[in-house]
Amino acid sequence: MENAFAELNLGVLADNLRLMRTALCTGSELVFVVKADAYGHGMLPVCRLAAAEGVRWFAVAHIDEAITLTDNLPDVRVMILGALQVDAVREVIQRRIIPLILHEEQGVALAAEAASMNKVLRCHVKIDTGMGRLGFVWNTAAGAITRLARLKGLEVVGVCSHLASAEGPDIVYAQVQVARLHGVIEKCRELGITFQMRHVSNSGGFHCLPECDYEGVRCGIELYGYGPRGINTRVVARPFLQWKSSIVQVRKVPAGFTVGYGSTHTTTRETNLATMDFGYADGYSRLLGNKAQVLIGGRRVPVVGRVSMNLTTADVGPETTARAGDEVVLLGTQGGESIWADEIARWCGTIPYEVLTGIRTKARYTVGPAGSRVRAN
């Protein structure tokens, strides 16, 4: 018997990668977003498989992720989506990592540091076209980019933006953002600046704006099997992470029996309770108490009572055959049933990203056949 673990079939990931790369417009490259430990899937195993499948570009959030990736896969290209600090310039140049320049002051400082080493920092500039987080605001961006392009120590080779709402069905704002980006690119062209690589689409943009594949598409959640679904879906990728544990104890209890901290659940009949070997310390949210379901014996059973630090309880019914040591599926498939991260997210009132990146259990990897698992819409 063992505590909860994640089981990942990298054969499914390989299938997802092939589907997406085939769907991209000619001349566009997949930029695989693997920040936050590949959305909780394990950055190095995921990236090794993707590199073996021919993926050349990866995107991370921070310099430490970029260093880990280039230490292990020195031939891939890595893009840092977050803010690069001056003290990392030497490392970035040596490793051919591409940072994003987010504002003029940062660009000037990074250029000066590179110039002091008689080096040139190759970079992309990020345009804030309406996301409202990071980047040069679109209506003044061209002038700032022109000034940066003149600096010794800096070579601006790419331009990008980030879509705030491209999951559909209403993509009007995404189209507004794209138009703003085009305006910046055109103004830069008039000023004598062109870009080798343009990228704006995330998973949502990949589906609803195929004309915006450009030279790169930064895809994250779709490749993990949880992209938007709708009439404009270009591919249907599938989840490759399952989350499992086991039963510690099964007990028959009478009607009126209270369960867990705060006695938030009371049985309405004689039944059997299965105490399971996982809790919020493993990343299973306390918000799932008295809301979620898990899979035991190929069927859905309700989680009852509060989720504890290391234990969670389910009502397996009066006629159960469940026993200590039996498998419990928190996320994934068992028999003909499945529970995926988007359903868990709905129970928690959040998004699949948070569910996946919150998993804190050991992982097992296989590279088996892709199989036929499908995610519920």
Specify the CATH number for the domain of residue 329. 2.40.37.10
Residues in the chain: 377
Q: Which of 353, 31, 17 is nearest to 160 (CA)?
A: 31
Rounded Cα distance between 281 and 278, Å, is 8
> Hey, is 315 helix, strand or coil?
strand
CA distance 354 to 351: 6
Q: Could you say which of 35, 39, 126, 280 is catalytic?
A: 35
Q: Do 171 and 52 reside in the same domain of the chain?
A: yes
Final residue before a domain boundary, out of 162, 196, 224: 224
CA–CA gap between residue 61 and residue 168 (Å, rounded): 25
Helices (H), 191-284: 203-208
Residue 249 falls inside a structural domain: yes
Q: Is residue 350 part of a domain?
A: no
Domain that holds residue 137: 10-224
* 131 and 97 in a common domain: yes
Q: Is 91 exposed, middle or buried (0-12, 13-18, 19+ CB in 10 A)?
A: middle
Let me know whether 169 and 310 are in one domain: no
Query: Does residue 136 lie in a domain region?
Result: yes
Q: Same domain for 28 and 122?
A: yes
* 133 and 260 fall within a common domain: no
Ranges of H-type helices in 41-118? 43-52, 63-72, 89-94, 104-116
In a domain, 368, yes or no: no
Exposure letters 287-322 (e unless 16+ CB within 10 A, then b): ebbbbbbbbbbebbbebbbbbbebbbbbbbbeebeb
Q: Tokens 């994640």 label which residue?
A: 6
Residues 254 and 205 in one domain: no
Q: Are strands 293-296 and 154-160 parallel, antiparallel or unpaired?
A: unpaired
Query: Considering the domain boundaries, does residue 371 fall inside one?
Result: no
* Predicted pLDDT of residue 231: 63
Q: Answer with the one of 199, 224, 249 that is the final residue of a domain.
A: 224
Closest CA to 2 of 242, 245, 241: 245
Of the candidates 58, 49, 48, 55, the residue with the CA atom closest to the CA atom of residue 21: 55
In a domain, 251, yes or no: yes
Annotated catalytic residue within 187, 261, 284, 365: 261
Specify the number of domains making up the chain: 2
* Residues 205 and 153 reside in one and the same domain: yes
CATH of the domain at 41: 3.20.20.10
For the entire predicted model, the pTM comes to 0.94
For strands 312-315 and 271-276, give the pairing: antiparallel
Contact 75, 107 (CB under 8 A): no
Closest CA to 247 of 324, 321, 299, 311: 324
Contact 308, 261 (CB under 8 A): yes
Residue 345 located in a structural domain: no
Does the annotation mark 261 as catalytic? yes
Domain boundary among 175, 194, 224: 224
Q: What is the pLDDT along the chain (377 residues), one digit of tens a residue?
A: 468 999 999 999 999 999 999 999 999 999 999 999 999 999 999 999 999 999 999 999 999 999 999 999 999 999 999 999 999 999 999 999 999 999 999 999 999 999 999 999 999 999 999 999 999 999 999 999 999 999 999 999 999 999 999 877 789 999 999 999 999 999 999 999 999 999 999 999 999 999 999 999 999 999 999 988 776 789 999 999 999 999 999 999 999 999 999 999 999 999 999 999 999 999 999 999 999 999 999 999 999 999 999 999 999 999 999 999 999 999 999 999 999 999 999 999 999 999 999 999 999 999 877 654 445 44
Active-site annotation holds for 173: no
Is residue 322 located within the same domain as residue 285?
yes
CA distances from 301 to 290, 298, 338 (A): 11, 10, 12
Do 200 and 275 fall within a single domain? no
Q: Which two tokens stand for residue 90?
A: 């030497």
Cα–Cα nearest to 75, from 48, 38, 99: 48
**245 in the same domain as 203:** no
CA angle, residues 189, 190, 195, in degrees to nearest 5: 10
In a domain, 153, yes or no: yes
Q: Do 30 and 69 reside in the same domain of the chain?
A: yes
44 and 70 co-located in one domain: yes
* Contact (CB, 8 A) for 369 and 313: no
pLDDT for the residue 370: 62
Q: How far apart are CA 318 and CA 252, in angstroms?
A: 8
